[in-house]
Structure 1
Amino acid sequence: MLDNLIEDRDFAKIMQKNIESLIILLFEKDQNFGILCKIEQITFEPALPSEISAEFRPMTLFFLAGYTFDTASIVGDKLVFEAGFGSDNFGSVVSVPLLSIMQIIVDETPLLINLSSYKKDSDKPAKKTDEGGVKNSMASFLSNPENSKFFKK
């Protein structure tokens, strides 16, 4: 049951809205924060050199403070900010889909934990009802003389 909920599109929409609302509040309060996110869903422009990107773990923490915080904004369904990476401070614009943010952290304390695991490409087609089964069920119901009391005359 829990899997059905956390993989649900509507649940994901609520989580995304909560993430967005909290980030906007942190911007308004001028509060630095960290995001723990799935690195596979993040884009870097320009792309990071392989020796830098190889250092990232599947779940990576970015801390938004100083220049990085000042450049941060929400664009569509992404958190976008500029950051420097590696010893040479290689500059890149980072785009993080809001649903790939698993935690929002202030002062080492998680303020928000995203449990959603919804994936857009995994939309399952709606189950089609078996019309034949409904018709057969109705035929069985009607064939029993005892059920005639349920019909209006």
Structure 2
Amino acid sequence: MLDSVINNKEFTQLMQKHMQELIVHFFSKEQNFGILCKIEDALFEPALPKEIVSEFRPLTLFFLAGYTFETAHIQDNCLIFEAGFGAENFGSLVRVPLVSIMQIIVDETPVMINLATHKSQEKSNKISNPKGVKDSMASFLSNPENSRFVKDKN
């Protein structure tokens, strides 16, 4: 029964619409947030070096704050933002299809979970190697300049 819901095209479109509405709401409130997404569907322009790509997990967390948040916008059913990766802070424009976002997170708490499994008709833009042992947060934190975006728990 659940499969007939989560594999349904209309359900996928509804989830995509809700994700877009929530993200636009966060933009309007200047609320930083994270996305947990399927990295295989993400596109990086320019392409990231292989040593950075190899660190990504199949589900990767991106935290949108500071400059990354300021550059973020939605276009053609994708969340697009600029981010720096690795110790050298290699800059790239990241394009993530909304249907590939599995969770939207605020203050370490998921505020939206996407259960839809139906693939959209749009062609996915994939990176060359989604395997790895570290997620994007580890890459983000490897740059000491990014520590200012992490909330101190003390």
Same-fold call, TM cutoff 0.5: yes
1:120 CA displacement: 3.5
Cα distance in 2 for residues equivalent to 1:69 and 1:44: 16
1:94 CA displacement: 0.0
Alignment of 1:4-153 (within 5 A): 4-120=4-120
Cα distance in 1 for residues equivalent to 2:101 and 2:20: 10
Cα distance in 2 for residues equivalent to 1:93 and 1:102: 20
1:119 CA displacement: 1.5
Q: Is the 8 A contact 2:44 2:93 kept in 1?
A: yes
Q: Is the 8 A contact 2:39 2:58 kept in 1?
A: yes
- Kindly provide the CA deviation profile for residues 14-37 of structure 1, in whole angstroms up to 9, marking residues without a partner as x: 000000000000000000000000
1:57 CA displacement: 0.1
Q: Which has the higher contact order (CA 8 A, sep 6+)?
A: 2
Q: Is the 8 A contact 2:99 2:119 kept in 1?
A: no
SS at match of 1:17: helix
SS at match of 1:79: strand
- Residue 142 of structure 1: aligned partner: none
Task: Report the residue type matching 2:8 in the other structure.
Answer: D
1:92 CA displacement: 0.2
Cα distance in 2 for residues equivalent to 1:60 and 1:4: 27
TM-score by length of 1: 0.78
Cα distance in 1 for residues equivalent to 2:43 and 2:11: 24
C-alpha RMSD of the superposition: 0.7
TM-score by length of 2: 0.77
- Kindly provide the CA deviation profile for residues 41-74 of structure 1, in whole angstroms up to 9, marking residues without a partner as x: 0000000000000000000000000000000000
Cα distance in 1 for residues equivalent to 2:120 and 2:28: 30
Task: Report the residue type matching 1:38 in the other structure.
Answer: K
Structure 1 unmatched ranges of 5 or more: 122-153
Structure 2 unmatched ranges of 5 or more: 122-154
Task: Report the residue type matching 1:53 in the other structure.
Answer: V
Cα distance in 2 for residues equivalent to 1:18 and 1:80: 17
The higher radius of gyration belongs to 1
Post-superposition, which runs of at least 4 consecutive aligned residues in structure 1 deviate over 2 A? none
Cα distance in 2 for residues equivalent to 1:38 and 1:61: 9
Task: Report the residue type matching 2:55 in the other structure.
Answer: E
Cα distance in 2 for residues equivalent to 1:58 and 1:4: 25
Task: Report the residue type matching 1:71 in the other structure.
Answer: T
